[in-house]
Amino acid sequence: MTQALQRINPRRPFQVTSEGLKRIVLGETGGSSAVHVATHRDTAPKPLRLVTPATTYILVIAHSERGAIDVHAHEAIAAAALLAKPTTAVAVLVMGDLSEDLAAFGADQVYVSDSSDSARFDPDHDLAIATEIIARLNPRHIILPDNASGDLGRRLAARLDVSAAAHVVELRPDAVATHRQSGAQMARRDLPLLILLDPNTTDTALPFIGAGELRRLPALPDADTRYADLGTPPVDATQLGLEEADFIVAAGNGVSDVPMLLALAKTFDAAVGASRVAVDDGRFARDKQIGATGRTVTANVYLAVGISGAVQHLQGIRSVRHVIAINKDASAPIAGRADLTIVDDAQAVMGALLEATRARNFTPDDSDIVAAIPPTSVPLVDGEGTDRALGSLRVLTLASVGRNPVNGAARPDCNDLLALELARSLGNTTLLHAGDPNQPALGDYFAYGATTLAVIPTAEAQDIIPALASQAANHDILLTGTRSEGGEGSGLVPYLLAERLGWPIVGRAIAVTIADGQASITQALPKGQRRHVRVPLPAVIVIDPKAPFTPRYAFARRRAGTITQHAPITGVPDTSWRVEPATKRPVKFKAKEQKAGHARMLSAIVTEAKGGAVVNSGTPADKAQAILSYLRTHKLIEW
Kindly state the smallest distance separating residue 325's Cβ from ligand FAD, in Å: 9
Whole-angstrom Cα distance, residue 443 to residue 432? 13
Closest CA to 399 of 426, 433, 427, 438: 433
DSSP labels, 595-632: --HHHHHHHHH-PPP---EEE-SS-HHHHHHHHHHHHH
290 or 496: whose CB is closer to ligand FAD?
290
150 or 336: whose CB is closer to ligand FAD?
336
177 or 261: whose CB is closer to ligand FAD?
261
190 or 281: whose CB is closer to ligand FAD?
281
Kindly state the smallest distance separating residue 276's Cβ from ligand FAD, in Å: 3
275 or 490: whose CB is closer to ligand FAD?
275
Whole-angstrom Cα distance, residue 58 to residue 425? 45
How many other CB atoms are found less than 10 A from the CB of residue 210? Answer: 29
Whole-angstrom Cα distance, residue 118 to residue 568? 42
Kindly state the smallest distance separating residue 589's Cβ from ligand FAD, in Å: 28
Kindly state the smallest distance separating residue 256's Cβ from ligand FAD, in Å: 7
Give Cα separations from 51 to 48, 54, 140, 173, 428 (angstroms).
Answer: 7, 9, 19, 20, 62
Kindly state the smallest distance separating residue 324's Cβ from ligand FAD, in Å: 13
Kindly state the smallest distance separating residue 572's Cβ from ligand FAD, in Å: 52
What are the φ/ψ torsions at residue 112 (nearest 5 degrees)? Answer: -110, 120
119 or 292: whose CB is closer to ligand FAD?
292
Kindly state the smallest distance separating residue 290's Cβ from ligand FAD, in Å: 6
Whole-angstrom Cα distance, residue 387 to residue 397? 19
Under 8 Å between Cβ of 248 and 270: yes
Which residue minimizes CB distance to ligand FAD?
Answer: 291
- CA–centroid distance for 552 within its chain: 30
Kindly state the smallest distance separating residue 631's Cβ from ligand FAD, in Å: 19
Whole-angstrom Cα distance, residue 237 to residue 23? 30
Kindly state the smallest distance separating residue 621's Cβ from ligand FAD, in Å: 16
Whole-angstrom Cα distance, residue 336 to residue 451? 59
Kindly state the smallest distance separating residue 250's Cβ from ligand FAD, in Å: 9
Helix H, strand E, coil C: the string for 192-245 is CCEEEECCCCECCCCCCECCCEEEECCCCCCCCCCCEEEECCCECHHHCCHHHC
- CA–centroid distance for 32 within its chain: 42
320 or 390: whose CB is closer to ligand FAD?
320
Whole-angstrom Cα distance, residue 338 to residue 321? 10
99 or 253: whose CB is closer to ligand FAD?
253
What are the φ/ψ torsions at residue 623 (nearest 5 degrees)? Answer: -70, -35
202 or 275: whose CB is closer to ligand FAD?
275
Give Cα separations from 274 to 116, 174, 350 (angstroms).
Answer: 36, 44, 16
Kindly state the smallest distance separating residue 326's Cβ from ligand FAD, in Å: 6
DSSP labels, 328-348: S-TTSTHHHH-SEEEES-HHH
How many other CB atoms are found less than 10 A from the CB of residue 526? Answer: 15
155 or 337: whose CB is closer to ligand FAD?
337
Residue 49 gets which letter from DSSP?
Answer: S
Give Cα separations from 560 to 103, 264, 447, 450, 628 (angstroms).
Answer: 61, 57, 8, 9, 63
Kindly state the smallest distance separating residue 296's Cβ from ligand FAD, in Å: 9
Kindly state the smallest distance separating residue 636's Cβ from ligand FAD, in Å: 22
Half-sphere exposure of 395 (CA within 13 A, CB side): 27
Q: Which amino acid is it at 588?
A: K
346 or 569: whose CB is closer to ligand FAD?
346
Chain positions contacting ligand FAD, by CB under 6 A: 252-254, 275-278, 289-294, 306-308, 310, 312-313, 316, 326-329, 332, 345-346
Whole-angstrom Cα distance, residue 152 to residue 118? 11
355 or 580: whose CB is closer to ligand FAD?
355
Kindly state the smallest distance separating residue 332's Cβ from ligand FAD, in Å: 4
145 or 254: whose CB is closer to ligand FAD?
254
345 or 382: whose CB is closer to ligand FAD?
345
